[in-house]
Amino acid sequence: MKYWMYTEDVNNYAHLFFVDQGFTRQLVTEFMGKPYTKPWTMPEVNYAREWEAPGLSKEERKMIKKNNEGLPQPDFPWLVGAESAAVFNERALQVLAHLIRDSVQIFPLSHESQKFYMINVIEIVVCLDEELSEVRRYGPAPRIIKPVFKEQLAKGKHIFKIPQSPSAIFVSDRFKQEIESNALKGLTWQR
């Protein structure tokens, strides 16, 4: 079975921001392959073209709005500051729930007109074949350039993380096929 890195298409689809930037800082260390146990406050998110992020300079806000202007809204938006988690809209969650439910925590997000869910992947699979994978080390943190998995260890896993890179999310070929057969948008596919 093939496995893919979960990567949002940030160049061709609009992305989201947390209205409260404090929540962004909190998530940087929280959604790293372990369950989130704190009370969930249902943070508010908005598309960058609808809202100017506080804490950014005027020039940064202009650039973000310009980059998002006219971009379609995806089923899997990139949420700035939540790189170790995934975000699904309601339709994407309905399509994929049967594949992921035992491997994730699902948290609702607040948006004025759509339903979005933050997906915390808590399934850690020790399956990276480090000898065959392309891995670059920058200090103590490895960067997985081209992962190769020991398929017998990843078999039956449709969304997971690996201990060598707990912020990266990997998905199965079946996950990819479900997305394509249901015409869901917003991800790019790289192995």
Task: Measure Cα distances from 150 to 2, 94, 115, 133 in Å.
Answer: 11, 29, 36, 10
CB burial of residue 30 (10 Å; 0-12, 13-18, 19+): middle
> Taking the CB of residue 14, how many other CB atoms lie within 10 A of it?
20
- Determine the pLDDT at residue 135: 86
Confirm whether pTM is higher than 0.85. Answer: yes
Both structure tokens of 150? 């020991």
- Determine the pLDDT at residue 50: 45
Strand order of the sheet with strand 86-89?
86-89, 116-121, 104-109
Reported in sequence order, the residue ranges of 33-158 that DSSP labels E, i.e. its strands, are 45-47, 86-89, 104-109, 116-121, 134-138, 141-146
CA–CA separation, 182 vs 91, rounded Å? 10
Both structure tokens of 31? 């959604």
In the chain, the N- to C-terminal Cα span, in Å, equals: 12
CA–CA separation, 149 vs 130, rounded Å? 8
pLDDT tens by residue, the chain, 191 residues: 789 999 999 889 988 988 887 776 666 678 889 999 999 989 999 887 544 555 666 676 666 656 666 789 999 999 988 889 999 999 999 999 999 999 999 999 999 999 999 999 999 999 999 999 998 877 777 788 899 999 999 999 999 999 998 989 999 999 999 999 999 999 999 87
Which residues are within 8 A (CB) of 28 and not within 5 positions of it... i.e. 6 or more apart?
A: 81, 84
Query: If we measure between CA atoms, which residue out of 123, 35, 114, 103 comes closest to residue 79?
Result: 114
